[in-house]
Amino acid sequence: MTNIDETHDPARKSWVATANHHADFPIQNLPLGVFSVGSGEPRIGCAIGDKILDVRGLAETGLLDDRWLPALTRADLNDWFARGHEDSRALRRLLSDLLSGEAQRAAVEPHLIDQSDTTMHLPCHIGDYTDFYVGIHHATNVGKQFRPDSPLLPNYKHVPIGYHGRASSVTVSGQPVVRPKGQRKQPEAEAPEYGPSRRLDYELELGIFVGRGNRLGETIPIGKASDHIAGYCLLNDWSARDLQAWEYQPLGPFLAKNFQTSISPWVITSDALAPFRKAVPPRPEGDPDPLPYLSDRADQQSGGLGIGLKASLSTAAMREAGATPYVLSEGEADAAMYWSAAQIVAHHASNGCNLQPGDLIGTGTLSTDRQSGLGSLLEISKGGNEPLVLPNGETRSFLEDGDELTLSALCSADGAVTIGFGTCIGRVLPARR
Amino acid sequence: MTNIDETHDPARKSWVATANHHADFPIQNLPLGVFSVGSGEPRIGCAIGDKILDVRGLAETGLLDDRWLPALTRADLNDWFARGHEDSRALRRLLSDLLSGEAQRAAVEPHLIDQSDTTMHLPCHIGDYTDFYVGIHHATNVGKQFRPDSPLLPNYKHVPIGYHGRASSVTVSGQPVVRPKGQRKQPEAEAPEYGPSRRLDYELELGIFVGRGNRLGETIPIGKASDHIAGYCLLNDWSARDLQAWEYQPLGPFLAKNFQTSISPWVITSDALAPFRKAVPPRPEGDPDPLPYLSDRADQQSGGLGIGLKASLSTAAMREAGATPYVLSEGEADAAMYWSAAQIVAHHASNGCNLQPGDLIGTGTLSTDRQSGLGSLLEISKGGNEPLVLPNGETRSFLEDGDELTLSALCSADGAVTIGFGTCIGRVLPARR
C-alpha cells in the first residue's frame, strides 16, 4: 500500500533553494492548495519551500498532461480530487521532476510566487463535513468527566463513532473566530440564558479530504478505502463547551460546533505521507476485533499515521511581550487513533452513504495518553477545574478573547526528509453585540 | 406578517383549465421547482394544474423583470432564493396575473408543458442539511420507549433541538431507497454484526428552504427569520432504527439516517401559505417562555402552519391487488410543532452559523397527540412491539422490501382555495449484496 519511490528520495534536492531546508515544504512534500494574488482569481498551486508553484500558469507551458487541464485550471481542487489517486501520484512525480531537474527550470521558474505575496483559500468546495471521534484517549478523558466508572460507551470499540458537522462554516487558517453566543445553563441555575460562550475551546484534529467518491447506495470496501482519500490537513474543531453540555442530548453537538471549523490550507497527499506510515498499534488485550467490513491486513500494516501534532497558544499579553507561543499539546496521530483513516472512510460509506470529492472528514480530537498530548483545554484543565498556568502567570481554563491558537504538524522518520502540514491559525474575537 | 392579497383571491381562476380543480396546484399556489424534458437541461418551472410553466422559456418572452433573469434561467433555484422574499412575492404576483389574465395568454401558453412529460430534480443545490426535532409528541413517544417516567429531556422546552444531516444523499421524490446495511446489536447478543437493517422506518417531516442567508458570525433576529425562508416541501427522513439504537451515543444519529433523505420537488412559498397561517398553539401551563432571542409576537400570532400532512403505505401485495394505499398517519403540522419555523431559523443562526440560500432544514417528525397522527412506524408499532395490521392481513412493524411510502400535504382554510404540496414517494429496494 505504501508507495515509496524516487519522489521520496532524501537525496533529491530542488533548485528552489528554500525548499531544501524547509521544515514543512521540501520537495518530498508537494502539497496542493488554492491561492490568489491581489484581487486575482483563486487558482491551484503547489507549495515548495517558501514559494508556490502556480499550477495554472504551469498548464500554459504545455508541461502538464492535457487530460488534467480541466481539473487543474479551476478555482478549487474538487475535480482534481475526483480523478483519483493514480493521477495524484503521476502529478507528484511530474512536479518532483520539474522542481528538481534543471531541464525545464527555465519554463517552470517564472510560475513561482512568494507565499508571502499570496492569500490562501479553502482548497475545495466542501459538500459535506463529517467529524469522527476516533481519538480514544480524548473519548476516555471526556467520558470520565461524565461517567468516572465507565468513560467509554459500549459501542466505542465496535463502531467508528461520527456525526455530521457544518460545511458552510469551515474556514481557512487565518480567519478569526467570533466568540459564539448561545444557550447555556449553569448547573445550579433554574433556567438557561442566552449569551456569549464562557467555555470556548479548541480541538486538535486531522482532516481527511475525500478523493474519488462512491455512488449513493454503494459501499467502499475497506481494502479500497485508502484510494478514496485525496489527502490530509489540520483541523481545529472550535467548541463551545457550555452550549454543548446543554444542547447535545439526545441528537449530539450542534450550535456548540457549527459556528466555525478552521483548516490548514495545504492538502498533504497520501503519497507524501508514505514514508511515515506505520503498523496500526495493536489493540489492547481483550478488545474486540473489528468486524470484517472494517478489517484489512494492509491497513493494519500501514494504516498508522506517523504525524507529530502540536497545538500552541499565544495570548494578547504574550504577543505584546514578544513571548514565544506556549505549547499546549504535542503527540503522534497514530498513538491517538483507535480507528484508521481507511476504517473511517469504509465505515462512512458502509450504509451506502455517498461520499463526494472534496468532502471533509475530521478524525475527532487526537489526544495521546500523556498529559503533554491532550488535544483540548477541556482535557488540559480537567473541565475547567484545574486552570492551566502560562509562563507569564496568566491562567486559562478556556480560551479568552484575543487568544490565538496555532496547530501544526511534522512527519519524521529514519531515512526520510521531514515534511510538515503548515499551520492552522485562528484568533478569538469578542462576541458580537 | 401574513400577506393576503389578490393572488390568494378564491375567485381568481386560471386559463389553464386543470388548475381550477387541482387539489395541489391551483393558481393560488404557484410553487417553483426544477424539471427537465427528455435529455434536456434542468430548468426552473412553476406548477399550475397538471402543467409546468417553463420559467426559462417565459424569460425569452420579455415578460420577466430583467434583473431576475440570471437567477431564473439557471438549473437550480439557489440564486433565486438568494434574492429574498420581496422578489419571490413580486414573481408570484406576476405569474398569477399572467396565468389568470388573457392579455399575455398567447405569449405564455407555448411555455406550458405537461407534468407527465417531465422529470423533476432537486429544486436547488443543498449546501447543508439540518434536521430538527420540534415535533414534541414524536419526541415524547420516542423518549417514552427509553425513559417511561421522563420522556422529554430537560433541555427540550428551552432549546429547539437540531443536528446536522447529510446533504449529498438528499434525493427527489421517486428515487428508490436501497435498504442500508450497518452495524446492529440485538439486546441479548454479545457483539454487534453488520448486515441489512431490519428496522427500516420513514419519518414524516416538513422541509424548510433557506432563502437569503446570513454571514458567518452574524445572527438572524427572530423578527426577521421568516424573511429568510424561501419555502417548504415534504421530507421523508428514512431511518434505520437498529443502526440508530447502536450508534447514536454520544454524538447522535449518523449512518442510521444519512443513507438517504427524500423530498418533494415543489417549493411551496411562504406567500402561498399565508391564508393557512394560524396563531401558534399556546404552550401548556407551566412550560417555560421561550428566551427573548426566540420570542416574537408576530410569530406567535401567525407562525402556526395549517398544513394537513399525510403518510400512506402501499405494499407490493397491495399494488398487485390494485388496493388503495393505506393511510398510516394524518395530522396538522401546527399541532405537532413545539417550535415554529421562524424559531428554528433564528436558533440555527443564533451562534453566528451561516445559513446559505438553498440550505434544507427538516422540522423533525411531525406526530400529533392522536394515534391516527403518528409520523413513523417506530411510534405506530410501539417500537415493533405492536405490529400494524393492514386491511389485506399483512402486518408491518417496520418497512419491508417493495413497500412504497407516499407523503402528501394539503392546506385548507375558510375562504381560501385549498393548495397542496404534491407528493414525496419512495419505494424500498432490497439491500445490495
| Banded model confidence at residue B2, pLDDT cuts 50, 70, 90 | low
Spans of chain A, pLDDT less than 70: 1-2
**B168 and chain A: CB distance < 8 Å anywhere?**
yes
Tell me whether residue A125 is one of the annotated catalytic residues. no
Q: Which residues fall within 8 angstroms of residue B23, CB to CB, at 6 or more apart?
A: B410, B418, B420
Cross-chain Cβ contact B161/A247 below 8 Å: yes
Query: What's the CA gap between B173 and B262, in Å, rounded?
Result: 6
> Tell me: the pLDDT tens digits for B414-431?
999 999 999 999 999 999
What distance, in Å, lies between the first and last C-alpha atoms of chain B? Answer: 53
Instruction: From the candidates B138, B228, B347, B348, give the one annotated as an active-site residue.
Output: B138
Amino acid identity at A160 = P
Q: What does the pLDDT look like over A175-232, one tens digit per residue?
A: 999 999 999 999 899 999 999 999 999 999 999 999 999 999 999 999 999 999 999 9
**Chain position carrying cell 410501539:** B382
B15 to chain A, any CB pair closer than 8 A? The answer is no
The ipTM (two decimal places) reads 0.97
pLDDT digits (tens, 9 = 90+) for B216-272: 999 999 999 999 999 999 999 999 999 999 999 999 999 999 999 999 999 999 999
> In the numeric block, which cell numbers belong to residue B345?
431559523
Cell of A332: 503522534
d(CA A357, CA A336): 26
At residue A306's C-alpha, the angle toward residues A300 and A311, to 5°, is 135
Q: Is A210 helix (H, G, I), strand (E, B) or coil?
A: strand
A133 annotated ligand-binding residue: yes
Calpha distance A236→A124 (Å, rounded)? 17
Catalytic residue among A138, A228, A347, A348: A138
Annotated binding residue A224: no
Q: How many CB atoms lie within 10 A of CB A23?
A: 11
Nearest residue of chain B to residue A428 (CA atoms) = B217
pLDDT in tens, B52-71: 999 999 998 999 999 999 99
DSSP B149-209: T--S-TTTTTS--EEE--STTEEETT--EEPPEEEE--TT-SS-EEEE-S-EE--EEEEEE
CATH topology of domain B129-429: Fumarylacetoacetate hydrolase; domain 2 (3.90.850)
Question: What's the topology of domain B6-121?
Answer: SH3 type barrels. (2.30.30)
Q: Is A216 on the interface with B (CB under 8 A)?
A: yes
- Average pLDDT score, chain B: 97
Q: Is A129 annotated as a binding residue?
A: no
Closest-CA distance, B86 to chain A, in angstroms, reads: 25
CB-based contacts of A230, cutoff 8 Å, min separation 6 = A77, A80, A81, A85, A88, A209, A210, A211, A267, A269, A270, A357, A358
Residues B276, B412 contacting (CB under 8 angstroms)? yes
Per-residue buried b or exposed e for B32-46, using 16+ beta carbons within 10 Å of the residue's own CB: bbbbebeeeebbbbb
Min Cα–Cα distance to chain A from B180, Å? 5
What are the boundaries of each domain within chain B?
6-121, 129-429
Residue type at A28 in one-letter notation: Q
Binding-site residue set of B: 131, 133, 147, 203, 205, 237, 244, 248, 257, 261, 365
